[in-house]
Chains A and B, each alone.
Chain A
Amino acid sequence: MTAKFLKLRDYVLLLSVVSIFSFGCGTSEKNDKESAAEPLDSTASNILNVNGQIFSIPSPIQTAMMIKQSGANYNKEMLNSAQNSSTYSTSFKKALNLGVYGADLGYVTIYEQTQDAISYLNSVKKIADDLGVSGAFTPETVNRFQKNLGNKDSLLALVSVGYRASDAYLKNNDRSEVSGLILTGGWIESLNFAVSVLKIKDNEEVKRRIAEQKSSLNSLIKLLNANYSQPEYAQLVDALQDLSKVFDGIEFKYSYEKPTVDLDKKLTIINSKTEVKISAEQVQAISEKAKSIRNQIVG
């Protein structure tokens, strides 16, 4: 292959010719033209592109980091027990809880709870293996994790790369819906961290982070909606839609400010501001609904 990436149309034409010769049959001229002219549908190419949209959900590790920075103590009680990993029987539940355990693994790692980190990594590996997500959490990954137990940053990087490998594997294998469930599980668990922390001590930053989930929630609903015809998806989407109604009442006031650029550092500072107004009642309602959805997932 040349240094320059092969142009896709050239590639399609080349493949057509090679395929025709490989089949060794006298395909008619008409058929040749039809196959060469057949447009390559992006939805048929194992690329996550749901209804023309790609979805991005912030990492649950970011919320776990913010929770620690807020001064909250380590609270194992709010996590899903690592032992529950063997109780999930359907792919639907396994995928959701792979997301939940990823968030929990991030949380225990940030709090440098090494023994718990190993337990959660084993849960993650077990569910990933059950789901057939090969290559994401290999024995080598587990060994590297154990060797880096004293290095929080390396551990977080390893976990994140493992989840990214899962994401890529699932998209490559036309299993984007599983990828969506993992994102949903991670998202609901990170929201669970935030509402659990608020229950113990009021904190403006944590409240704000809860409000900031509005956009991610809407993305998840759109993503999961593609499988709404399946009853288990429908139940989850309905519950998330009910939760989103509370988020709809939160006030956001956005003001654009021109960004500043530091060319030497290849850095842009985004100066725009968003003010958020979330009431105690809204926090309470989100807390109750989020807990209910989360308990359905881990139960």
Chain B
Amino acid sequence: MKKVFKVFIVAFSLFTAGNISAQCDTIANLCAKHLEAKFISDGQQYRALLLSTDETAEFHSTFYGGSTYRIAACSGLTDGNLVFSIFDEQRNMIFTNSEYKNAPYWDFKVTSTLDCIIEAKLDARNQGSGCAVILIGFKQ
């Protein structure tokens, strides 16, 4: 019985993990449309599994001066489920899309190179948990 339970747990984990990856892929494909042709992807895909609206995915990035960036942020199959915010390293807020109806993408013209922190969390009004995807594109 113990063995059967172990097999169940392993199979369940693999099945669930595979499905979460597939969901993230679907979301990422939808999100990529926001980068459009005029922004070049930075070649990475930022993902986090957020299990509740209290969880925040955070990552550090560098935006080079003289460039314009587009950040696209998605979760679920519709726009506006993910709240993303940008802070400088002193924690001054640079931007939050929550002030703009959770806009799924926003552009940033960078005057001088900035090391920043990007945070993403689910909007509790729309979604309780799920895969969060952020994409970054740039143009000179």
Provide the residues of chain B in CB contact with A164, threshold 8 Å.
32, 41-45, 135
Q: Is the CB of A5 within 8 A of B81?
A: yes
- Is A284 part of the binding interface, using a Cβ–Cβ cutoff of 8 Å? no
A172 near B25: Cβ-Cβ < 8 Å = yes
Among candidates B42, B48, B63, residue contacting A54 with C-beta atoms closer than 8 Å = B48
Q: Are A266 and B4 in contact (CB under 8 A)?
A: no
> Contacts of B61 on A, CB cut-off 8 Å?
56, 58
Chain A CB count within 10 A is highest, among B17, B40, B103, B130, for B40
Contacts of B32 in A (CB 8 A): 161, 164
Q: Contact: B5 with A156, CB < 8 Å?
A: no
Q: Which residue of A lies closest to B92 (CB)?
A: A256
Interface residues of B in 83-101 (CB under 8 A from A): 88-90, 92, 94-95, 100
Given contacts A5-B130, A168-B45, A268-B107, contact A53 B58 (CB under 8 A): yes
With most chain B CB atoms within 10 A of its CB, the pick from A61, A69, A102 is: A61
Are A212 and B113 interface neighbours, CB within 8 A? yes
Query: Which of A1-18 touch B at CB < 8 Å?
Result: 3-5, 7-9, 11-12, 15-16
Of the candidates A23, A59, A219, A268, the one whose C-beta lies within 8 Å of that of B8 is A23
The count of chain B contact residues (Cβ–Cβ below 8 Å) is: 77
Near B by CB (< 8 A), chain A positions 250-266 give: 254, 256, 259, 263, 265-266
Say whether A269 contacts B109, CB under 8 Å.
yes
Residue of B at shortest CB range from A48?
B47
B128–A46 touching, CB < 8 Å: no
B52 to chain A, nearest CB (A): 9
Which residue of chain B is the closest to A156 with respect to CB atoms? B40
Contact of A40 with B51 in the complex, beta carbons under 8 Å? yes
A25 close to B44 (CB less than 8 A): no
A267-B109 in contact (CB<8A)? yes
Q: Which of A135-167 contact B (CB under 8 A)?
A: 153-154, 156-157, 160-161, 163-164, 167
Cβ-based interface call for A209 (8 A): yes
- A168 and B28 form a contact (CB under 8 A): yes
Q: Report A168-196 residues with CB < 8 Å from chain B CB.
A: 168, 171-172, 183, 186
Query: Are A57 and B130 closer than 8 Å at their CB atoms?
Result: no
Q: Is the CB of B46 within 8 A of A56?
A: yes
Is A62 among interface residues, defined by CB-CB distance under 8 A?
Answer: yes
**Chain A residues near B9 (CB, 8 Å)?**
35, 38
| One of A73-81, A234-242, A271-279 at the interface | A271-279
Complex contacts, A7 vs chain B, CB 8 Å = 127-130
Residue contact A212 to B64, C-beta cutoff 8 Å: yes
Residues of chain B within 8 A of A212, CB atoms compared: 62, 64, 113
Residues of B within 8 A of A (CB): 1, 4-5, 8-9, 11-13, 15-17, 19-21, 23-25, 28, 32, 37, 40-49, 51, 57-68, 75-78, 81, 88-90, 92, 94-95, 100, 103, 105-115, 118, 127-131, 135-136, 138, 140
Question: What is the interface of chain A, defined by CB distance below 8 A to chain B?
Answer: 3-5, 7-9, 11-12, 15-16, 19-20, 23, 25, 27-28, 31, 35, 38-40, 42, 44-49, 53-59, 61-62, 65-66, 69, 102, 153-154, 156-157, 160-161, 163-164, 167-168, 171-172, 183, 186, 208-209, 212, 215-216, 219, 254, 256, 259, 263, 265-274
A-B contact list, 19 entries, CB within 8 Å = A3-B78, A5-B75, A15-B12, A25-B4, A40-B16, A40-B49, A47-B20, A47-B48, A56-B62, A58-B61, A58-B62, A157-B41, A160-B40, A167-B44, A171-B45, A172-B25, A254-B90, A270-B111, A270-B112
